[in-house]
Amino acid sequence: MRRLGALIALLALGAAAYGQTFPEPRTIKINDRVYVLLGPIQHANRLNQGYMINSTVIVGAKGVILVDSGGSDEVGRHIAKAVRKITDKPVTHVVNTHHHGDHYLGNVAFEGARFISSEMCRKLVLETGHEWLGIMERDIGRKLPGTKPLAADVTYPADTRTETFIHGVRLVFWVPQGSHTAGDLLIHLPDDKVLLAGDVLVSRVVPTLQDGFIKNWIRTLDEILALDVAYFVPGHGDLMTLRDVTAMRGAMLRFYSGVKEGFRKGQSEDEIRKSLDLSIWDKLERSYVIGRNINRAYLEIEADSFEFQPRP
């Protein structure tokens, strides 16, 4: 019985520790009002407890605009603590770059804030939120009873760029054609020469294409490269330069073109994988998504190959 009691106490202590221990973000100051919180780059696991994204803190005249809130209520509170180390101004607005749970399930930690996303992101959160919560719970190995999917109350329609001011900060909310997901939202700060790209840009990790639209994504990268931007903030990994974005665009184009050539030759997905030069992606974090990426590209190319035949 003593052993059982000790085991129960140990498990309880471990459970309590889970809710309190997260990797600390690396804070990068871009200027006096824009700070980036660089989080871990691994997928959600028992060690990072679902903290695996970059967030951006934009300090306005009367409050903070936070871009991406993390993967649970606990991660959200962890990010809020990091914000308080930068400023004592309240977080009044939270922007979600897309509907993947690691980027928005922390919304619930910011009570009273206004939540902003694309229209499609809101729709996808409402449709898939509990699925993403289940994925997060599975990956970290425990339940998250305080985490509830919370969709945006301010949204922007597809294929638009909307300039607005929040707390004196000029922002352009850009909803491109579906790229990393069907509901991406990018945030351009023209006066700061900063672009907050969510997972449309990633550094040191393999881009995840499972919900993506690869041809659109490459076009979006072309549009990003045309902006007057000095600081590119990805959803995961280190800040990027123009050269980094150009390299990512080139890698994605070569990947897509290689899969398309294999499809044209009638190769299977396994044969295509063997024919591709994946040396750039093989050495990055999350290289295990490459097989899924080939499948997603193959399906997109296959769909494009069907010609519409009108009924007689």
Residue 204 falls inside a structural domain = yes
* Displacement of CA 48 from its chain's centroid (Å): 16
Residue 15 falls inside a structural domain = no
In angstroms, the CA 85 to CA 79 distance is 10
Nearest C-alpha neighbor of 82 from the set 41, 16, 22, 15: 22
Please give the biggest Cα pair distance in the chain: 81
Domains: count for the chain: 1
pTM of the full structure: 0.91
Q: Are 105 and 151 in contact (CB under 8 A)?
A: no
Q: What letter would DSSP give residue 206?
A: P
In angstroms, the CA 25 to CA 40 distance is 8
Nearest C-alpha neighbor of 221 from the set 201, 202, 251, 205: 201
Nearest C-alpha neighbor of 135 from the set 202, 210, 191, 190: 210
Q: Are 56 and 150 in contact (CB under 8 A)?
A: no
Domain interval for residue 263: 23-305
pLDDT tens for each residue of 84-140: 999 999 999 999 999 999 999 999 999 999 999 999 999 999 999 999 999 999 999
pLDDT mean for each 10 residues of the chain (312 residues): 40 42 96 98 95 98 98 98 98 98 98 98 98 98 97 98 98 98 98 98 97 98 98 98 98 98 96 95 95 97 75 53
Residue 232 falls inside a structural domain = yes
In angstroms, the CA 84 to CA 298 distance is 46
CATH code: domain of residue 212 = 3.60.15.10
Q: Are 169 and 60 in contact (CB under 8 A)?
A: yes
Q: Are 44 and 139 in contact (CB under 8 A)?
A: yes
pLDDT tens for each residue of 208-238: 999 999 999 999 999 999 999 999 999 999 9
Residue 310 falls inside a structural domain = no
Residue 112 falls inside a structural domain = yes
Residue 214 falls inside a structural domain = yes
Residue 280 falls inside a structural domain = yes
- Which residues lie closer than 8 Å to 73 by C-beta, 6 or more apart? 105, 106, 108, 109, 144, 146, 147, 148
* Displacement of CA 31 from its chain's centroid (Å): 23
Residue 311 falls inside a structural domain = no
C-alpha R_g of the chain = 21
